[in-house]
Amino acid sequence: MVLPLWTAHDRDHQAGDRVAGTGQTGRSTSVVSTEWVVAVSAYTVQAVKWEHGWELHVQDVGVTQCRTLATATQQTRDFVATMFDIDADDAEIHLSVAIGGVEKDVERARKMTAEAIDKQHQAATESRRVARELRHAGLSVADTAAVMDISKGRVSQLISQ
């Protein structure tokens, strides 16, 4: 199979150009439009605290700096765009922060928060199901509220969702 390819920022191709493969018979086996193809490169960044802010160590590229982590991703995009003459929006940034061994605690807290959000969604789904089941069994809104230890207004919300 032969695939005519060009770099993502080659200005010689036209919008709508095609990349096609040929089988052994010479017939086209697939055609993929390149009109909306955008090259996205991923960059791994390690942020390290220093006296004036953060050093951003971009793997296989170099080091840049920023004052706050809030600006680290954009600063890295701008740095990579400058180094490789690409559009900053085309850079996918994977930022990790070196903060003296607390990284594992941060990751654990994030995981626990995500699990709590998931449990909250599950609880809400179950509450809606139970409220509907109690009402379907013939309990009044007031009785359903008493059984579930919630307000009558909350029962109405649950069964309407």
Same domain? 114 vs 150:
yes
pLDDT at 35: 52
Same domain? 6 vs 33:
yes
Distance CA 21, CA 76 (A): 37
At residue 68, φ and ψ (nearest 5 deg) are: -130, 155
Distance CA 93, CA 76 (A): 7
What is the total count of domains within the chain?
3
Q: Domain of residue 151: give its range.
A: 103-160
- pTM of the entire structure? 0.50
Same domain? 149 vs 121:
yes
SS3 9: coil
Same domain? 68 vs 117:
no
Same domain? 120 vs 151:
yes
SS3 40: coil
Distance CA 52, CA 33 (A): 48
Three-state SS string over 93-158 comes to: EEEEEECCCCHHHHHHHHHHHHHHHHHHHHHHHHHHHHHHHHHHCCCCHHHHHHHHCCCHHHHHHH
Tens-of-pLDDT digits for all 161 residues of the chain?
Answer: 333 334 444 444 444 444 444 444 444 444 444 454 445 589 999 999 999 999 999 999 999 999 999 999 999 999 999 998 888 888 889 998 988 888 889 889 999 999 999 999 999 999 999 999 999 999 999 999 999 999 999 999 999 98
Same domain? 115 vs 144:
yes
